Chains A and B, each alone.
Chain A
Amino acid sequence: MKQTLTQSMAWLHTWGGLLFGWLLFAIFLTGSLAVFDQEIDHWMQPEIKQTSVSSAQAVEHAVAYLQRQHADASAWNISLPSERMPALRVTAGDRRSGISTYLDPLTGEPLVVRDTAGGTFFFRFHYSLSMPRNPGIWIVGLAAMAMLVALISGIIIHKKFFKEFFTFRPNKGQRSWLDAHNASAVLLLPFHLMITYTGLLIFALIYMPAALDSLYNGNFAAFYQEHIDVPEEHHAVQTSQAPLTDLAPLLAQAEARMGPLSGVVIEHPGRSDAHIEMRRVLGNRIALTKGHNMVFDGVTGELLAGPPELRPTVLVQRVMFGLHFAQFGGYPMRWLYFVCGLLSSAMIATGLVLFTVKRRRKYASESALGQQLYRLVESLNVATVAGLAVACIGLLWLNRLLPVELAQRAGWELRGFFAIWLLSLLHAWLRPRLQAWREQLSLAALLCLGLPLLSVFSDGQAWGDSMRLWLEVTVVALGLLLVWSVWRLRQPQVQRSERRERSVQAQVN
C-alpha cells in the first residue's frame, strides 16, 4: 500500500480525529467551563452572599467556631473568601474527608448551604471523566496524545497553511465546514498545541514514569522531597497541651510575602506540635504554586519553612502546569482562555461534522452495516456536541430545581447530568439528522436563555450579586449564539449550495 506522506497523514487525521473527537470535544468543553469553576460553584450555592471581610477577621471567626465545635480535631482547614470564591469554609479533620461547614464571614455563624456538584464537577470530569482513581486519567491522556497526533498530522496535510490563513467562505456546504475547521485550527494553533502538551505534562509521571523508574526506582515521594524544599514531617514523641498562637501577625507576614491567601491549615491545634500552613491564592505568577506554602510553628509563631525557591527546571515544569491551569493574569486572561477553549471545542465539532458531510452522498450507496455505522456517527455527533451542551446547562437547572434538603444532592445532580446526556444520544438515534440537531440545540438555547428567570424563581431575587450577574449574562449570550445556530440550520441554502458548487461565481467569496 504505497502512499504519500500527505495521504497517510490524512488517513490518520481523519480516523484518529473521528475516533477520539467525541471524547476530545467533551474534554475541551468541560475544560473551558472549568476556567470559571469557582464562579459556577458560587452560582450553584445561592445561600452564600458576596461580602468583603478581611482575612484576619475571617480567620478569627473560623478559629472561634472550630475551637467551639471541633477542639480536639487532628487538623483544621480554613478556606478563606477570595475574589473568585466569596465563601468561608472550615473543615475539621482531613481536608477531603473531614466535616465541612460554611460560615457567614461577617458573623461567624454556620450557614446552611445546599450540597452541590458545582462547577468543580466540570473540572473533575475534564481530567478524569468523573471516573474514580486512574482509569479516567489514562483515557484522557490517550485522548490528549490523539489530539497531538491530529494537530501535527493536520499541519502536515494542510497545504495552503498561509495562503488560506484568513479564509472562510460561508454558505458553500462542505467547503464552508472545511474552512471553518481550518480557520479555527490554524488561527488558534498556538493555543491548541500549548493546552494539549501542558495538559499531558501535568500527569507526565503517571503516563510516562520512565525517568522516575530509572533514576528513583519509581519512588515518587523521594523525587518530591528532592525537587523542592518541603518542611520535614516531624512526629513529636510526647505532646502536651499548648495554646495556639495568635494568627493575625502570621497572616500579615504570609500576605506580605505571598500575596492574598486562599487558606490556612492548622495541624494538631491546641497541642505543642501544632503547625500552621498558609496557602496563597494561585495566580500572581504563571508558575503553579500549588503546595508551595509557608509553614509556621503553631505555638511560637516562628517561620519554619518559607515559600520554596524553585530551581530552573522545576520552575519550567511549574510554568507548564500554570499555563494549563490558567489561574494567572486576572479576569482578562481568564476570559481569553475561556473563549479560546470554546473555539477549540468548536474546531473539534466542525471536524466531526465535516466527516459526515463529506461522506453523506457516498454512504447512501453503502451496505446496510455501513449505513448503520454512519447513522451511529451522526447520532454521536449530535449527542456529543448538542447533547453535552444541554447536559451542562441542565446541571445548573438541576441545581435549582432539586429540593435543597435532598440527601446526597450532589450525587443526584450528577445522575441527572448523565441521564440527560444519555437521553440525548437516544433522541439523536431516533430522530432524523437535522431535526435532532435543531431540537437539541433549541433545548440548550432555551435553557440558557431561561437561566435568569430560573434564578429569580428559585432564589426569590434576580442573580443576587455581580458574579452571578456576569455568569447569567454570559449564559444568555451563549444562548443567543445557540439560537443563531438553530436559525442557520433552518436555512435550505446549505443543501442547495452543495449542488451549486460548480456553478459560475465571479466573486472571491
Chain B
Amino acid sequence: MMTAFLGSLLLAYSSMLALCQGLERHYKQVWGRAPTRLQRRVLRGSGWLLLAASLWGCAQAWGWAMGPVGWFGMLSLSGFALALLLPYAPRLAVYAPVLGLPCWLLLYALAG
C-alpha cells in the first residue's frame, strides 16, 4: 500500500511539474529562456499522461472507489508544494522527482 501511495505521490508531483513547465512563465522561471513549441507540447502531453498514471496508482493503493478521492488530494498538495518551491528553489523543484524515483525504486524492491 505504501509503495503504491508513494509512487502515486511521485507521479502526481511529476505531472504537476510537467504541466507547470509547459507554461511559458514557469519554464522561464527555471531555465531563463522561453520554451520552444515542441518542448511545450511534450511537457504538457507527458503531464497529462503522468496525471492519468497517478490516478491508476491511487487506485492500486486504495481501490477504484477511494482512489479518486486520494488522487485529488495528492494533486492539490503536490501542486501546492510545487508552487511554493518554484520561487525559492526552482532547480530543486524540477529535480525532486529525479531524486525521488531511485528512492521509490529501492522501497519497491525492499517491499517485494
Q: Do chains A and B touch in the complex (CB under 8 A)?
A: yes
Residue positions of A touching B, CB distance < 8 A: 163, 165-170, 183-184, 187-191, 194, 285-286, 323, 328-330, 332-333, 336-337, 339-340, 343, 508-509
**Contacts known (A166-B83, A183-B80, A323-B69); A332 close to B23, Cβ less than 8 A:** no
CB-based contact A286/B61 at 8 Å: no
Q: How far, in whole Å, are A188 and B83 apart by their CA atoms in the complex?
A: 12
CB-based contact B20/A166 at 8 Å: yes
Q: How far is the CB of A336 from chain B (nearest CB, A)?
A: 4
**Contacts known (A188-B76, A332-B61, A508-B29); A169 close to B87, Cβ less than 8 A:** yes
Report chain A residues within 8 Å CB of B26: 166
CB-based contact A184/B62 at 8 Å: no
What per-residue 1/0 map shows which CB atoms of B38-49 lie under 8 Å from chain A? 000000000000
**Contacts known (A332-B61, A340-B76); A286 close to B25, Cβ less than 8 A:** no
Partner of B80 from A169, A187, A330 at Cβ < 8 Å? A187
CB-based contact A168/B69 at 8 Å: no
CB-based contact A337/B73 at 8 Å: yes
Q: How far, in whole Å, are A293 and B82 apart by their CA atoms in the complex?
A: 44
Q: How far, in whole Å, are A337 and B77 apart by their CA atoms in the complex?
A: 10
Q: How far is the CB of A243 from chain B (nearest CB, A)?
A: 43
Report chain A residues within 8 Å CB of B1: 330, 332
Residue positions of B touching A, CB distance < 8 A: 1-2, 5, 16, 20, 23, 25-26, 28-29, 61-62, 65-66, 69-70, 72-74, 76-77, 79-80, 82-84, 86-88
Partner of A336 from B23, B77, B82 at Cβ < 8 Å? B77
Report chain A residues within 8 Å CB of B88: 170
Q: What number of A-B contacts does a CB cutoff of 8 Å give?
A: 77
Report chain A residues within 8 Å CB of B82: 166
| Given pairs A191-B72, A330-B1, 10 additional interface contacts (CB within 8 A) | A168-B87, A170-B88, A184-B80, A190-B72, A190-B76, A191-B76, A329-B70, A336-B73, A340-B73, A509-B29
Q: How far, in whole Å, are A345 and B62 apart by their CA atoms in the complex?
A: 27
Q: How far is the CB of B31 from chain A (nearest CB, A)?
A: 11
Report chain A residues within 8 Å CB of B86: 166, 168
Q: How far, in whole Å, are A509 and B84 apart by their CA atoms in the complex?
A: 12
Q: How far is the CB of A327 from chain B (nearest CB, A)?
A: 11
Report chain A residues within 8 Å CB of B69: 286, 323, 329, 333
Q: How far, in whole Å, are A281 and B104 apart by their CA atoms in the complex?
A: 32
Task: Specify the chain A residue showing the minimal Cβ separation from B84.
Answer: A168
**Contacts known (A169-B87, A188-B76, A190-B76); A333 close to B28, Cβ less than 8 A:** no
CB-based contact B87/A170 at 8 Å: yes
**Contacts known (A332-B1, A336-B70); A166 close to B76, Cβ less than 8 A:** no
CB-based contact B84/A332 at 8 Å: no
Task: Specify the chain A residue showing the minimal Cβ separation from B93.
Answer: A166
CB-based contact B66/A166 at 8 Å: no
Report chain B residues within 8 Å CB of A188: 76-77, 80
CB-based contact B65/A508 at 8 Å: no
Q: How far, in whole Å, are A168 and B84 apart by their CA atoms in the complex?
A: 7
Task: Specify the chain B residue showing the minimal Cβ separation from A287.
Answer: B65
Partner of B65 from A167, A285, A339, A509 at Cβ < 8 Å? A285
Q: How far, in whole Å, are A183 and B5 apart by their CA atoms in the complex?
A: 24
**Contacts known (A168-B86, A183-B83); A328 close to B2, Cβ less than 8 A:** no
A to B CB contacts below 8 Å, 19 in the list: A166-B79, A166-B83, A167-B83, A168-B84, A168-B86, A187-B76, A187-B80, A188-B80, A189-B76, A191-B73, A194-B72, A323-B69, A329-B62, A329-B70, A333-B62, A333-B73, A339-B77, A340-B73, A508-B25
